[in-house]
Amino acid sequence: MQRAKVVGTLWLSSAIEDIRGFKILILKDLSSSKGGYFLAVDTVQAGVGDEVFTVSGSAARQSEATKNSVSDTAIVAIIDRVNEENI
């Protein structure tokens, strides 16, 4: 599970049926200090600039919206507030 910021969108062609119609967003990882980029299927109508919460692996296909997809990473919530202590 990761915290990430939405930074872009991907449009697919020649997609197999199991991924057609899904919105694929480009995310910047906020969980690690490395700050890499990754892709996720959107299930919560996220938009560029939103801070989102993602799940990976087979977990990404446990939701009603993605259960028949080929997704391996999904946005499952918008992040509302973060409280982090420096311990």
Site string for a copy of itself, 43-62 (x = CB under 8 A): xxx--xx---x-xxxxxxxx
Q: Least separation, in Å, of the C-beta of 46 and a copy of itself?
A: 8
Rule CB under 8 A: say whether 14 interacts with a copy of itself.
yes
Q: CA 26 → CA 19, 58, 82, 85, distances in Å?
A: 16, 20, 22, 28
CA 18 – CA 46 distance, rounded (Å)? 21
CA 53 – CA 75 distance, rounded (Å)? 6
CA 20 – CA 64 distance, rounded (Å)? 16
Rule CB under 8 A: say whether 19 interacts with a copy of itself.
yes
The residues binding a copy of itself (CB under 8 A) are 1-3, 5, 7-19, 24, 26, 31-34, 36-41, 43-45, 48-49, 53, 55-65, 68-74, 76-87
